[in-house]
Amino acid sequence: MSSPASNSTSDFFDQKIADSYDERNSRLAPISDGLHFLLRLTLASLPENARVLCVGVGTGADIFALASERADLTFVGVDPSAQMLEIARHRLDEAGIGARCELVHGYVDAVAERDFAAVVSLLVAHFVQREDRPAFYRAIYDRLAPGGRFLSAEISSDLDAPQFPAMVEDWRQVHALMGANEESLASLGDTLRNVLGVIGPAETEALWREAGFAVPVPFFQAFMIRGWHADKPSA
């Protein structure tokens, strides 16, 4: 993630969360499997030997989703959680694809390379506060090669929309399935409004365009999770 969000973001993923992350997320496999299926389709035209940057790589799930289909791809994964990166490295090495992956501890700004064919950032942007979001998207834009593709999925909702309370109730079911405690479930609406950097779809698309991307294309929605992809214009 982009450095302005560093203090608030890394606190979400301490050792305890890192150790249970994959187990908790496995309960949402139908959603994540569908998202990764569409990820592969939207990036199916990547050139041979393409380089892919995974922002907020976590324990490596997005790398696995692409590496399993394309043996020619190589990856850079960046994440502010050293604990998550440690798990990712172990999993990638165990699967025999560690040699194709470079893992960087930090935020987008820590990645010097600027000619990636694609940047993937799944379930990350809502941890970046609204005031830091333009810099976050611009940092991603700057690391793409001309014609490269950015693909992101994030929690996105208009917090003032009449359907927002009902959407929170649906989202509460998701968190209950993942094992959230009663206190977390009760405060979910406040978390979405005041802790995370949740913004609406129209604002998200506007910020992408301001960063320089071509028209954002919606490709995924599951409850509050929305996904888009957009290309960096060719030089």
- Please state the domain extents for the chain: 3-156+197-231
Looking at the DSSP bridge assignments, the partners of residue 220 are: 227
- pLDDT in the model for residue 27: 77
Nearest to 52 by CA among 156, 44, 234, 33: 44
Average pLDDT of 129-135?
A: 96
Unique residue bearing structure tokens 């690391």 = 143
- pLDDT in the model for residue 224: 96
3-state class of 73 per DSSP?
coil
Mean pLDDT of the chain: 91
Average pLDDT of 88-109?
A: 97
Unique residue bearing structure tokens 């389709």 = 41
- pLDDT in the model for residue 128: 96
Average pLDDT of 64-85?
A: 96
- pLDDT in the model for residue 24: 67
pLDDT in tens, 3-59: 433 444 445 545 555 556 566 667 788 999 999 999 999 999 999 999 999 999 999
Average pLDDT of 192-221?
A: 96
| Per-residue tokens: 82 | 């050293």
pLDDT in tens, 146-191: 999 999 999 999 999 999 999 999 999 999 988 889 999 999 999 9
Give how far Cα 133 sits from Cα of 44, 71, 139, 208, Å: 28, 33, 10, 10
Nearest to 6 by CA among 102, 87, 103, 78: 78
Average pLDDT of 54-67?
A: 96
Contact by Cβ (8 Å): 36, 58: no
Whole-model pTM over 0.85: yes
Is CATH 3.40.50.150 the classification given to domain 3-156+197-231? yes
pLDDT of 144 higher than 70 = yes
